[in-house]
Structure 1
Amino acid sequence: MKMEVPLLMLLVLFLVTYIQRSVVATLLHDEELKVTRKLDLINKPATKTFVTKYGDILDCVEIDKQLAFDHPLLKNHSIQMKPNFKIPKRRRLNTFSSSTLIPSQRRLLPKKVRCQEGTVLIKRIQEEDLAMEKFSPSLGMKFPTSNSYNFAYPNDDQPPQVHNQVAALVTFTQNTGAAGIINLWSPEVKPDQYSDAVIFVANDDGVVANAIVIGWAVNPLINQTFFTRLYTYWTKDSGQSTGCYNAMCAGFVQTSQEITLGQLLSPISVYWGRQYYVDLTVRQDLKTKNWWLLNGEDSVGYWPKELFTTLTNGAIRAGWGGEIQSPVTETAPGMGSGHFAKEGYARACLMKDLKLYAPMSFPAEKDLKLYLSKPECYGVLYEDSPGPGEGGEWGHSIFFGGPPGCSMS
C-alpha cells in the first residue's frame, strides 16, 4: 500500500525540524562550553569568595596566579609589590561641612573579613560580562591625538552610528602621570550608552596611541548595572587590537587586598547637597617604568611596562574630563552630574586638585586646551582659584558636564 503524499510530507517536515533543532541544540551547547572554558581561564581559583550586597562576586586569588600573568609578555615578569616613588599625602580639600572626600573607597568586605596574605582581591568576571566583551576596544576615552579638535583615534573603525563626545581639559606636556579628586555622580544612561569622568595619560608614535584612563563610569555595556564604578582602560594601539576595560583581559597586575577594579563607588553626591569624591592617580615608577594606579594613599596595582611601546618612556599628553557614548539614533545621556559646567559647585561635576607629574609645575593656562566635541551639549570650565563656599583652595580644577537629551544625529 502506498503512503499518501501529505503523510510523507509531514514525515519529511518532522525529520527536517528534528535535525534543525538538534543542530541548534548542539551549537548552543558548544557555545555554552566555550563561554564556560573562557570564564575558567579568566577567573582563577579563589582561596576565598565573597558576595557583596550589590551582587558582585569578589575572589581572593593568589597574587602570582592572577589573570595578568596569562599575557604572553608577562610570563617572566617579576611582581612589584609597591611603587618606588613616595606616595604623597594628598591635600584633603573637605573643610566645608557638606563635602566628604573618600580617599580609598574601601569596605567592600566586612571589617573582620580580609583576603589572606599572598592573595589579592579581584572582582569575578561573569557570563554577562563576556557578552559585551566585543565592545571593549571602543570603550576607552576618545582623547585628542594632536593639538587640534580631533577626538577620533587614527584609522578609527568604530561604526559611524555610535558617537563619543568629550568635554575635557588637556595638556600637551611631557609627564609621568596625572591625578585629581573627582566628584562622584551617577548620570542617567540607557542600556546601550555610558558616561564617565576620567583622567588620562597618553603617548604615540604618530600613528597609534598608547594610553591609560582611570576614573569612574556608569557603564551597563560592561557591568550590566547602572551603578557608578571604578573605571580603568588601557591600550597600546588606539584600541584597534588592544583595549581592555578593568580586568576583562590579561595585563593589569593587582596588588591590593581591599580595592579592586570595577568595584562600586558609594555614596554618590546629591544635587545642591552633600558632595562626595574619590582621589585617583596614575603615575609611572621611573625605576621600573611600570604605571601605578593609586586610590588616595593606597596602591591598587599597576600596568607593567611590557604592555606598552611609547608609553614606556613617559607620556606626552594628559587630560581630565568627561565622555559619553551613545547610538546616534538615541538622545545622549548626561555627563558628569547631568548639569552644565556653568552651574558650578554642588550642581555640576567638579574635578579638583588636578596634578601633573612633570619637570615643571602644573602647566600655565596658555599650555592648557579645553576640548569640547559638542559644545551645545556638554561644557567644561577651568579654574585656578579657591572655590566659593568650600572653605579651602581647590587648586587647579574643572567643572564639566551636561544634561541628558541632546541629539546625537
Structure 2
Amino acid sequence: MQDAHLATLGFNFIGAQANINVWNPNVEQPEDFTTAQMWLKANNGENFASVEAGWMQDSYHTTGCFDLTCQGFVQIASEIALGSTVGPYSSQFNQQYEINVGIFWDRNGNWWLRMKDKIIVGYWPAAIVGNLQHSATLVQWGGQVFSYNVKTTPPHTGTQMGSGEAASGRFGFACYMTNVRIKDYSETLKYPQFVSTYAAEPYCYSALNDVQYGKDPVFFFGGPGRRPPYCP
C-alpha cells in the first residue's frame, strides 16, 4: 500500500471534510485498487482504528469490502449509497469535477458520513470504531494505491493515483483537494494549524500542498506509478 497525503496530528479531532477532485485513473492489475480519500484515525501502535471516505477505482474484481455488502456501516440516505458510482470524471484541459465529503463524530461515539454539504449518508456505529469512540488523533487527505508490485517488488505497478499525473502538474492536470477542514471540540470547521505532506514513493506518486497568501490552500497528489527510470 502506497500513500501520498496531507496530514495533521492532534488529540481531539471530531470531524473533517474536503472537496475531492474526481478522475478515472488506470488500474493495471486485477488485485490493484487506487483511491482519493480522507482518513480519520486513532492510532495505538499497530492497533489503530480508521474511518475513511472518498472515491475508489479498481479493475472490477474483488479487491475488498468498501460498500454495503459487508456489515458495519449503517445506511440512512436514499439519494446516495456507499459504493455507488461517482461521476462525471474530470479530464485535462476540461472541466474539473469534485465531490464534497465530510465525516463527523457525535457524543454517542458514532461517526457520520456527509456528502454534498448536507446529505447524511449514514454512520459507523461506536461499537465498531474501537479507539475512535472518543475522537481522532490523525487526519489525512490524499491518495492510496494497493498493489503487490510496489517498492520492494519490481517491476512497479502502472496503476495510477489521482489523475495519473504528478502533483507538480497542479490544477487541470493533477488530482487535488480543496476546502480541507478539521473540527475539534471548539465545534468550528477550520483549516489545520499544522500540516505535513508525505509520499512513500515520490517518484511514483507525489504530494504538494500549494499555499498562497490570501487564498485557501490546495493539496495536489498523484502519479503514474511505473515510469522508468524514475519509478522502475
TM-score scaled to structure 1, two decimals? Answer: 0.50
2:109 corresponds to 1:289: yes
> Using a 3 Å threshold, how does the CA distance of structure 1 residues 266 and 358 change in structure 2: closer, same or farther?
same
Task: Give, in whole Å, the separation in 1 of the partners of 2:163 and 2:148.
Answer: 21
Gap change, CA 1:311 and 1:344, over 3 Å in 2: same
Match status 1:342 vs 2:156: no
Q: Which residue does 2:156 correspond to in 1?
A: 331
Tell me how far apart the structure 2 counterparts of residues 276 and 282 of structure 1 sit (CA, whole Å): 20
Match of 1:215 among 54, 59, 74: 54
Residue in 1 that maps onto 2:204: 377
RMSD: 2.2
Q: Identify the structure with bigger relative contact order (alpha carbons < 8 Å, sequence gap 6+).
A: 2
Q: CA deviation at 1:386?
A: 7.5
Q: Does 1:362 align with 2:191?
A: yes
Q: Distance in 2 between matches of 1:345 and 1:207?
A: 36
Instruction: Answer with 1 or 2: which has the greater Rg.
Output: 1
CA contact (8 A) 1:194 1:221 kept: no
The answer (yes or no) to whether the contact 1:381–1:399 under 8 Å persists in 2 is yes
Q: Report the CA distance between 1:359 and its aligned residue.
A: 4.2
Deviation string, structure 1 residues 99-130 (Cα, Å, up to 9, x no partner): xxxxxxxxxxxxxxxxxxxxxxxxxxxxxxxx
- Match of 2:182, as an amino acid? L
Match of 1:196 in 2: 35
Contact 2:24–2:57 (Cα < 8 Å) also in 1: yes
Higher helix share: 1
SS of residue matched to 2:133: helix
Distance in 2 between residues matched to 1:321 and 1:352, nearest whole Å? 11
Deviation sequence 1:327-364 (CA, Å, 0-9, x none): 22553211110001111111000110101012464323
Distance in structure 2 (CA, Å) of the matches to 1:386 and 1:277: 23
One-letter identity of the residue aligned with 1:331: H
**What CA deviation, in whole Å up to 9, does each residue of 1:340-397 have, x standing for no partner?**
1111111000110101012464323xx312111001111111123379xxxxx5x232
Match of 2:89 in 1: 268
The one-letter amino acid of 1:186's match is N
How many pairs were matched up?
219
Structure 2 unaligned residues grouped into runs of 5+: none
Higher strand share: 2
1:311 corresponds to: 132
Alignment deviations for residues 63-103 of structure 1 (CA, whole Å, 9 cap, x no partner): xxxxxxxxxxxxxxxxxxxxxxxxxxxxxxxxxxxxxxxxx
1:181 aligns with 2:19: yes
Does the 8 A contact of 1:170 with 1:317 survive in 2?
A: yes
Aligned equivalent of 1:251, options 58, 61, 72? 72
Residue 165 of structure 1 and its aligned partner are, at CA, apart by 1.1
SS at match of 1:172: strand
Q: CA deviation at 1:244?
A: 4.7
Q: Is the 8 A contact 2:14 2:185 kept in 1?
A: no
**For residues 146 and 110 of structure 2, what CA distance do their matches in structure 1 show?**
30
The one of 7, 14, 24 aligned to 1:170: 7
Normalised by the length of structure 2, the TM-score is: 0.86
1:281–1:339 distance in 2 versus 1, CA, 3 Å: same
Output the amino acid matched with 1:346.
Answer: G
> In 2, distance between residues paired with 1:278 and 1:318?
18
CA distance in 2, matches of 1:223, 1:256: 25
Moved over 6 A (4+): none
